[in-house]
Structure 1
Amino acid sequence: MKMLAATAAIAVTMPLAAQTSDAPAISVETVRGLTETLSSDEFEGRAPGTPGEELTVTLLAERFAAAGLQPGNNGSWFQEVPLVEIDANPETAALSYTVNGDTVSLAYGSDMVIGTPRVVPEISVTDAELVFVGYGINAPERGWNDYEGLDMTNRIAVILVNDPDFESPTNEGIFDGRAMTYYGRWTYKYEEAARQGAAGAIIIHDTAPASYGWNVVESSWSGPQLNIQAENDHMDRVPVEGWVTNEAARAMLAAAGQDLDALTAAAREQGFTSVPLGITASASVENTIRRENSRNVIAILPGTTRADEYVIHTAHWDHLGRCTPAPDGDDICNGALDNATGTAGLVALAEAHAAAGPSERSMVFLAVTAEESGLLGSAYYGANPVFPLAQTAGGINMDGLNILGETRNVVVVGYGKSELEDYLARASAAQGRVVEPEPSPEAGYFFRSDHFALARPGVPMIYAEGGEDLINGGPEAGAAAAMDYRDNRYHGPKDEYDPNWNWDGAIQDLELYYAIGRELANSDAWPNWYPDAEFRAARDASRPPSE
């Protein structure tokens, strides 16, 4: 979940925005009640493969059935998602570097977190040379290759987070200026390091370009890590992946006679040449491995005249489960905002559409697993779709609802990418709201929620939500609440349900999603990505524009 304008307990008592004239009321009782239940300690943070999953998926199936929907997967409410859990032993996980015969060991958790995506009981990398590879990008279409001329055999890549022009004041630049491209995501950096044959890939954390603090890295990367099962047990991945704190990285680079700030400045220039550091590092990890199936939950409201065409709504039901304890000892990451609210909103939307009766196209409601582990549930659905992607007209993703009250604006994550923004503009205008680009495109929110896993194979998806311009409090209050959430609750034990939350903004946004979904489901149009969007080719390949 990557909220833009969420969360503090700010009471707002403005009237709800006018609904679409033929729309049933969105049930605030459903949204509030399900959020409270899903984020209760009984559900233990809804981690896949735990008793919390069983409680969650059972409850969702029951609620979809009660709303009058049908099981979406050939008579079943569930799509099995084969996962493998790798749990690195923090007591033995080690990362050290050696300079002039002296070895410096980094502390797990406070200095670094490491693991391996390979499904093996143990792995080690010994005396591998560290190489600073800047942003770790190989993008020939942009004239950029940080690995130019490098042989990464028995070398560990040391990588900066985000992409080279993230500090740009505009969205113009080699890497879209301030707006992060996929080259800026940590997932890409590990993927590229593997393609380069590296023995390891270590990302230097920095709060501003990462858009979250070290606490989020530590909480998200420690403990069991999930991946989709693969026949090759992911042996094509980098043997060791991890992060180091900014402070630990500075000390390591200084020991190699280098300065992090100077290297970062150089790495932002086209033609940058990677820098072998002349020091070696060793890393080792011991794992406990468990294979398991998790589940996506799929419900469908069959269409009337074009039942073989689909509009999809997505939200992830999972969160982090047990995590790094707060100072008070609370070790349950309840995920109330992220994403119990979005999951509850998915059910509330399903109820409203069912109450209105079937649309011309079928409407699919997909609650996916393992978003927090790398969009695994949505990626699995994208690779194994129950409903053909070429026959899916488009979709709407929800990843955290607004619990601050109504807003004057709507922000689009990944603004300017698809024709679904025209649908959003019409629905927003009916509410008297303005549509704006996301305020922090450098944070890469577009790549951090489930719409991305469906966009990559070409399905037009929109991810939009209430912005920071609160009717009661204005943009200053909205921005302050967003920062407070990011710093104090995001991916931590204090993302908990608060009975003082105001749900008017959530209902306002759900009415927006209802209007978009209903218009698309009663249309024969096939919206596409804009011509310069990176997903246009995939859509055109699966569904040529002439169709």
Structure 2
Amino acid sequence: LVSGTNDPGSYWRMPVDLVSTRPLTGSLTLTQGRSSVIVPETDAAVFTPRRRALAASGPGTGVPVVFVGYGDGSVLGDAMAGAVAVMLADPGRDRARREALFAQRATAVVTVLPDAGALTRVRMAGSRERLQLASEDQDTLSAYVTDAALAEAVGAHRWESYKADAQAPDFAPLEINLAITLQASAERREFTSSNLVGRIPGSAPGAGAILLLAHWDHLGECRPPEEIDHFCNGAADNASGLAAMLELSRRLKAGGPLGRDIYVLATTAEEGGLLGARAFAKAAPLPLGSIIAAFNFDMVAIAPEASPVGFIGRGQTPLDQVILDYLARSGRELGEQDLADSFVQ
């Protein structure tokens, strides 16, 4: 096994720059005319990945408040730049719409949720530590408010009228007469982790490469500190996968040279959102198009013997028949395809 980084200055490690953020404070103030209210935490939540973020918008500020309904404001083009966008929640599409609005340089995005229960779920998810690649770090300010709280500020009749208009196929975003002030802060930590990359050289240059990969990180502290054992040790997820990958690498190396190069990759920050794998894809030491097949080892041998096999990625590579033929020869059953497909990102 030799270095796979293609970097003489870093033989085994490929640095992965990461940013960790954890929300600290947040507040949302709505002003209609002379009436101003700080929305209580039971009806609003505000998040930012920055140490501190503040935005004031509405009449007299030069920052418009634009109601985009169920859209993403793209019909306005550059007109969204600098605005505070207010959008109605549409589960399954909200993240993409929010990203589209920030891509148009919206100052902040306020998502209107149907009720306090939906807000509680958002708050629980948003209050956890978030890990992301430093190269993907964005200066964003996101707020969530209940439908009832916004209706009270705007006026119930007017708000129902806005929502009804948003249902129309030809709906166009409109500026609304509402002032919104948002403030949020977060604990922020920037640090560098590493992917580890080795290579078993092949005997046929230009024949492509095989990638073996497994993530080396785990959850760490995953239970309340007062519990005696508050660490998730990661024996299954993913020491088992690393062990299987390394043992396979040892056997492949002992068997003599193969035609293709075999890359052995241990990725960091998988639990944070496949971040190490994404960093590898962004700066791979070989052309990504030269990778003939990739085999990911994660939580190996925890299912009962002879369990159905989940085929993740079926229909996306030329390897389908190879895998199906092997399952047939070994007498294994194919598991539920919809479940397997749900793991594809």
- Most deviating of 308-317 and 275-284: 275-284
Is residue 240 from structure 1 mapped to residue 175 from structure 2 by the alignment? no
| C-alpha distance in structure 2 between counterparts of 1:277 and 1:436, whole Å | 48
Find the counterpart in structure 2 of residue 228 from structure 1: 134
SS at match of 2:309: strand
Q: Pick one of 71, 82, 100 that aligns with 2:3.
A: 71
| C-alpha distance in structure 1 between counterparts of 2:236 and 2:110, whole Å | 30
| C-alpha distance in structure 1 between counterparts of 2:185 and 2:20, whole Å | 13
| C-alpha distance in structure 2 between counterparts of 1:352 and 1:221, whole Å | 45
- State the shift of 1:361 in Å: 0.8
Cα gap change, 1:281 to 1:323, in 2 (>3 Å): farther
Find the counterpart in structure 2 of residue 154 from structure 1: 83
**CA shift digits 1:287-336 (9 cap, x unpaired):** 45543221001122222334762111233322444467389597645556
| C-alpha distance in structure 2 between counterparts of 1:85 and 1:121, whole Å | 11
Equivalent residue runs for 1:80-479 within 5 Å: 80-88=15-23, 90=24, 92-98=25-31, 101-107=35-41, 112=45, 114-116=47-49, 121-127=51-57, 129=65, 131-134=67-70, 136=72, 147-149=74-76, 151-152=79-80, 153-158=82-87, 160=89, 162-163=91-92, 184=93, 186=95, 188-202=96-110, 214=121, 218=124, 222-223=128-129, 225-229=131-135, 237=138, 239-241=140-142, 244=144, 249-255=146-152, 256=154, 257=156, 258=159, 279-306=178-205, 309-322=208-221, 325=224, 332=231, 334=233, 338-401=237-300, 403-406=302-305, 408-432=307-331, 433-434=333-334, 436-439=336-339, 445-447=343-345
TM-score (norm: length of structure 1): 0.49
**CA shift digits 1:216-268 (9 cap, x unpaired):** x73675336433247xxx5xx453136x4xxx534345435457xx969x76x
| C-alpha distance in structure 2 between counterparts of 1:416 and 1:277, whole Å | 47
Contact 1:134–1:274, Cα closer than 8 Å, also in 2: no
Q: Which of the pair is proportionally richer in strand?
A: 2
Unpaired runs of 5+ in structure 1? Answer: 1-68, 137-145, 164-183, 448-547
Contact 2:217–2:270, Cα closer than 8 Å, also in 1: yes
- State the shift of 1:285 in Å: 2.9
Equivalent residue runs for 1:497-508 within 5 Å: none
Contact 1:201–1:238, Cα closer than 8 Å, also in 2: no
Identity of aligned residues (%): 23
Unpaired runs of 5+ in structure 2? Answer: 59-64
Contact 1:126–1:283, Cα closer than 8 Å, also in 2: yes
Contact 1:147–1:274, Cα closer than 8 Å, also in 2: no
**CA shift digits 1:194-234 (9 cap, x unpaired):** 2222112356789xxx9xx938x73675336433247xxx5
Cα gap change, 1:316 to 1:416, in 2 (>3 Å): same
Find the counterpart in structure 1 of residue 61 from structure 2: none
In structure 2, give the amino acid aligned to 1:94: S
Contact 1:71–1:299, Cα closer than 8 Å, also in 2: yes
Find the counterpart in structure 1 of residue 62 from structure 2: none
Contact 1:415–1:438, Cα closer than 8 Å, also in 2: no
In structure 1, give the amino acid aligned to 2:57: D
Contact 2:215–2:242, Cα closer than 8 Å, also in 1: yes
| C-alpha distance in structure 1 between counterparts of 2:335 and 2:197, whole Å | 30
Larger Rg: 2
Contact 2:86–2:112, Cα closer than 8 Å, also in 1: no
SS at match of 1:394: strand
Contact 1:157–1:193, Cα closer than 8 Å, also in 2: no
| C-alpha distance in structure 1 between counterparts of 2:321 and 2:112, whole Å | 39
- State the shift of 1:121 in Å: 4.1
In structure 2, give the amino acid aligned to 1:218: M
- State the shift of 1:349 in Å: 3.5
In structure 2, give the amino acid aligned to 1:77: W
| C-alpha distance in structure 2 between counterparts of 1:397 and 1:358, whole Å | 22
**CA shift digits 1:22-63 (9 cap, x unpaired):** xxxxxxxxxxxxxxxxxxxxxxxxxxxxxxxxxxxxxxxxxx
SS at match of 1:409: coil
| C-alpha distance in structure 2 between counterparts of 1:291 and 1:254, whole Å | 40
Contact 1:325–1:332, Cα closer than 8 Å, also in 2: no
In structure 1, give the amino acid aligned to 2:39: S
TM-score (norm: length of structure 2): 0.72
| C-alpha distance in structure 1 between counterparts of 2:125 and 2:275, whole Å | 18
- State the shift of 1:83 in Å: 2.9
- State the shift of 1:270 in Å: 6.3
Cα gap change, 1:251 to 1:328, in 2 (>3 Å): farther
In structure 2, give the amino acid aligned to 1:131: F
Taking CA–CA contacts closer than 8 Å with sequence separation of 6 or more, which of the two structures ends up with the larger relative contact order? Answer: 1
Contact 1:156–1:200, Cα closer than 8 Å, also in 2: yes
RMSD of aligned Cα (Å): 4.2
Find the counterpart in structure 2 of residue 519 from structure 1: none
